[in-house]
């Protein structure tokens, strides 16, 4: 099993626990962090994408405000209307990631609508097959309109941003988080309409995801090195 796969499994397990039981926010689960010698603890990087629903609802400023307010630094930022191919390359093709997407979908039915005939609805109960379908909806949704993509840098940037963003399923996202404050979609509704969950914002979940996404979306010359005023005061 690759390092990438192991990270995904760890992440998926944390996500499932968090999303079904509503306990143990992933932000508090300590995971080993790998850092190059050159990168200091203040320089962890993560990718944030404001999804088409966030852009169309005019939430761009609010999301960036929350990131900056936290003391995190935006070091690259632009708007694009991505192709399906570009979005396909963004999301993992890892089997475990796809199975996790499928299992999360099945779990939502168990919790909210246990009488649903999954087989009749999807033609299958195989989490991998269902996960592939959800991934496809996701790729279509993410390329359905312009998105804002950015790299955010700072202390524990990956976990800090996930905490600001909140849990995947809006119903479980705490008030005060971006998803908790601004989204109200349900996977049940989304799946019935054969579309991805509209939850406003994407944020890398692991260092491996962040590294892949930085490489996928940004050329080195699009990333800027500068100092925020607080750095002199705080560190």
Residues of this chain that interact with ligand ADP (CB under 6 A) are 15, 101, 104-105, 108, 134, 138, 168, 187, 190-191, 196-197, 199, 202, 205
131 is an interface residue for Mg ion by CB under 5 A: no
Indicate the pairing of strand 44-50 with strand 73-80: unpaired
Pick from ligand ADP, Mg ion, none: which does 46 bind, CB < 5 to 8 A by kind?
Answer: none
**How big is the site for Mg ion, counted in residues (CB under 5 A)?**
1
3-state secondary structure of 22: coil
Which residue shows structure tokens 């990087």? Answer: 45
Q: How far is the CB of 77 from ligand ADP (least distance, A)?
A: 19
193 is catalytic: no
- What totals of helices (H) and strands (E) does the chain contain, helices first? 12, 4
Query: H or E element: which one contains 77?
Result: strand 73-80
Interaction of residue 205 with Mg ion, rule CB under 5 A: yes
Give the residues across from 79 on adjacent strands. 148
Q: How many residues does the chain have?
A: 235
171 binds, among Mg ion, ligand ADP, none (CB under 5 to 8 A by kind): none
CB of 222 to ligand ADP, least distance (A): 23
Query: Please, are residues 149 and 80 in contact by the beta-carbon 8 Å criterion?
Result: yes
Q: Residue 52 or 205: which CB sits closer to Mg ion? A: 205
- Catalytic annotation, residues: 202
């Amino acid at each position: 099993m690759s390092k990438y796969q192991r990270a995904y499994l760890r992440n998926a397990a944390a996500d499932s626990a968090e999303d079904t039981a509503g306990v143990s926010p992933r932000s508090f689960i300590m995971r080993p962090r790998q850092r190059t010698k050159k990168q200091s603890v203040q320089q962890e990087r993560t990718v944030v994408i404001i999804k088409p629903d966030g852009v169309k609802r005019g939430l761009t400023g609010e999301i960036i405000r929350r990131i900056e307010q936290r003391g995190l630094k935006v070091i690259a930022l632009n708007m694009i209307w991505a192709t399906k191919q570009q979005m396909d390359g963004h999301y993992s093709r890892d089997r475990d990631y796809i199975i996790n997407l499928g299992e999360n979908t099945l779990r939502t039915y168990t919790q909210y609508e246990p009488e649903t005939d999954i087989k009749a609805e999807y033609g299958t109960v195989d989490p991998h097959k269902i996960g592939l379908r959800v991934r496809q909806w996701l790729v279509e949704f993410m390329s359905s309109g312009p998105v804002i993509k950015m790299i955010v840098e700072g202390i524990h940037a990956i976990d800090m941003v996930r905490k600001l963003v909140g849990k995947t399923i809006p119903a479980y996202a705490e008030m005060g988080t971006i998803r908790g404050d601004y989204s109200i979609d349900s996977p049940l509704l989304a799946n019935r309409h054969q579309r991805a969950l509209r939850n406003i914002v994407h944020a890398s979940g692991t260092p491996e995801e962040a590294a892949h996404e930085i490489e996928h979306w940004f050329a080195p010359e699009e990333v800027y090195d500068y100092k925020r005023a607080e750095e002199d005061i705080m560190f």
